[in-house]
Amino acid sequence: MNTLIIVGRIDKINDDKIDIAVARNYKNEEGIYEKDIIPCLLKNFMKDNINEYCKEGDLIGVKGRLEKRDSLIVIAEKVTFLSCKKDNE
């Protein structure tokens, strides 16, 4: 079964994909939570909704599957908007 769920902030919005910054659950030597940038490919109806309602920094949840292309990429099957980025973050 190839299913995953990730929660993170939108790092970058491209034409048909978004990059999601997902914080690790432990701190590095400097006491900072590092982030992994995960590329997610969007279907047409999701792409339109993301471009209209979301912006960089918003928190979203993505349910999808992994696919090997040039590199590993998440193929989004469902995207859930969770919250807006606060202006003071």
Could you tell me the CATH number of the domain that includes residue 71? 2.40.50.140
Structural domain including 11 reads: 4-83
In a domain, 33, yes or no: yes
- Residues 6+ positions from 71 with CB-CB distance below 8 Å: 39
User: Regarding beta strands 33-41 and 72-83, do their DSSP bridges make them parallel or antiparallel, or are they unpaired?
Assistant: parallel
Instruction: Give 21-79 pLDDT, tens digit per residue.
Output: 999 989 999 999 999 999 999 987 888 888 888 889 999 999 999 999 888 999 999 99
- CA pseudo-torsion sign 52, 56, 61, 67: positive
Record the pTM.
Answer: 0.82
| Torsion angle defined by CA atoms of residues 14, 60, 6 and 62, in that order, rounded to the nearest 10 degrees | -70
- Chain centroid, CA 68 distance in Å: 17
How many structural domains are present in the chain?
Answer: 1
